[in-house]
A and B are shown apart, each in its own frame.
Chain A
Amino acid sequence: MQVTMTVNGTEVSRDVEPRLLLVHFVRDHLGLTGTHWGCDTSNCGTCVLWMDGEPVKSCTVLAAMADGRSIRTVEDLDTGGELDPLQQGFMQCHGLQCGFCTPGMLMTARWLLDRNPDPDETEIRDVISGQFCRCTGYENIVRSVRWAAEHPDGAAGDGEGTTDTAPATDGEEVTA
């Protein structure tokens, strides 16, 4: 069957099997491999992308169900090469180690910040409660989201320097 949808602002059209999952559609048919494919059971949340403005677990949505809808993936977070403040936050606060969960975390956290620009730790932990991270213990992810909340214009907004630096534990900056 033919499906047509808007992906990151561009209309795409492909011939697919009705049973094709949305996560495989964006990865294998569109080459947008930023969205990761994890547990396949809607538990881990690494496949989270937006459909019509809301985050969904794309391993549990058919590409056919996205026909006529609007999709946004992690590839769309930056603006003209300038990383989203959230992406900067994950760099600043070591919000990832292996990075496998990161695309899903970013898409969910961006949705949270769009609705609630100043979430507390409980609200952050609640919104990512359906997403697994096996590296960070979530602590640094929460800090990263808070960093983005406190820097809505990113590092450039308050002159904190370039985004390829991360604070060391003693407060000194280390250039990556």
Chain B
Amino acid sequence: MQTPAPFTYERAGSVDDAVALLERHGPEARLVAGGHSLLPMMKLRLAQPEVLIDINDLTDLSYIRLDGSEIAIGAMSRHADLLDSPLLAEHYAIFADAERVIADPIVRNRGTIGGSFCQADPSEDLSAVGAALGAVLVVRGVDGTRQVPAREFHTGPYETVVGPAEILTEIRVPVRPGAGSAYAKVERRAGDWAIAAAGAFLTLDGDDVRDVGIGLTAVGASHFCAPAAEDALRGQPATDDNLASAAQVAAEATSPSTDQRGPADYKRHLAGELTLRALRRSVARARGEGA
């Protein structure tokens, strides 16, 4: 039987309450949302928080809405909410692409987007989506809120810029009219973590790439992104050759590790191939061609 080490359980009634509880209990306290990453780590004693602060009552952080020229996603939005959101489907198909291959429908009822970012698993899918889209994360602490670009949010595996008395409250994504986006992942079996995965968005100016974002996960890409590949493609004609060249640049910038999911050279190959697939589909979607 896997049992977490003993801890004290607290339940937050509001964001302010959560921050106050974090401040009172210090760095050995952890927030728990869906719990589907943290509780397994606690069972394996890889995480042993002294205090667990349950934030599942913070339903006011469960929303996906248009806010000016941005889409605002509350941190307590469940994976199932993201998968079913008509607003996200309208603007960014990358979300449904990714959510369809995150865990399974039952786990998606619990896991949250905020938890996914804060868990900061190096194979996490939404971190690559956020990096691709240039999302901005809103973090609240005692002294108010601050905004952190997704590409500066992670400081290492399982580590983020969120301080011990701070809580991620919102993920903001700029709306880009006419953008196409996509996510492509290879996993060992249904619902597993990625062997490798890539996401992209792309806007076109005629036949040229006006803007592009590329995110990668599970392959050791710094901050889950591929800026050199984006630079190589931006302003260029959206031809298959150019997409393939950019995908190659993205693959070369990765530093995957050999592990039980596969050897490093295979993962690097996947990084290139999946980036190419995500770019191709983004172009097709930007042109309004098929799903």
Give the B-binding residues of A (Cβ under 8 A): 1, 17-19, 21, 40-43, 45, 48, 54-57, 60-62, 64-65, 67, 108, 126-127, 129-131
Does residue B184 face the partner (Cβ distance < 8 Å to A)?
A: no
Q: Do residues B4 and A60 form an inter-chain contact, with CB atoms below 8 A? A: no
Q: Number of residues in B with C-beta < 8 Å to the partner?
A: 29
Residues of B within 8 A of A41 (CB): 2, 40, 43
Q: How far is the CA of A75 from the CA of B106 in the complex (A)?
A: 19
Question: Are A61's CB and B6's CB within 8 A?
Answer: no
Mark interface residues in B251-272 (1 if CB within 8 Å of A CB, else 0): 0000000000000000000000
The answer to whether A55 and B106 touch across the interface, beta carbons within 8 angstroms, is: yes
Q: How far is the CA of A1 from the CA of B6 in the complex (A)?
A: 12
> Is the CB–CB distance between B54 and A42 below 8 Å?
no
Residues of A within 8 A of B3 (CB): 19, 21
Contacts A55-B106, A129-B105, A129-B190 given; indicate if A61 touches B35 (C-beta within 8 A).
yes
Q: Can you report 15 A-B residue pairs in the complex whose CB atoms are below 8 A from each other? A: A19-B42, A42-B36, A42-B40, A56-B109, A57-B106, A60-B36, A60-B40, A60-B110, A61-B110, A62-B52, A108-B105, A126-B105, A129-B191, A130-B190, A130-B191
Given the interface pairs A48-B106, A56-B110, the reply to whether A19 lies near B36 with Cβ below 8 Å is no
CA–CA, A1 and B51, complex, Å: 14
Instruction: Name the interface residues of B12-67: CB closer than 8 Å to any CB of A.
Output: 32, 35-36, 39-40, 42-43, 52, 54, 56
Please determine whether A18 and B52 come into contact, CB atoms closer than 8 angstroms. Answer: yes
With contacts A60-B36, A61-B35 taken as known, whether A45 is within 8 angstroms of B54 at the C-beta atoms is: no
- CB nearest to B32 among chain A residues: A65
Q: Any chain A CB within 8 A of the CB of B1?
A: yes
Interface residues of B (CB under 8 A from A): 1-9, 11, 32, 35-36, 39-40, 42-43, 52, 54, 56, 103-107, 109-110, 190-191
Q: Which of B35, B106, B190 contacts A62 (CB 8 A)?
A: B35
Contact A40:B54 (CB < 8 A) given known A19-B7, A56-B110, A130-B106: no
How many angstroms from the CA of A61 to the CA of B105 in the assembled complex? 16
Minimum Cβ distance to chain B for residue A50 (Å):
10
Given contacts A41-B43, A61-B39, 11 further A-B contacts (CB under 8 A): A18-B6, A18-B52, A19-B42, A41-B40, A45-B106, A56-B106, A56-B110, A60-B39, A60-B110, A61-B35, A130-B107
Verify A17–B6 contact, CB threshold 8 A.
Answer: yes
Q: Are B54 and A65 touching (Cβ within 8 A)?
A: yes
Please give, as numbers and ranges, the residues of chain B lying within 8 Å of A48 by CB-CB distance. Answer: 106
Chain B residues within an 8 Å CB radius of A62: 9, 35, 39, 52, 54
Contact partners of A67 in chain B: CB under 8 A:
11
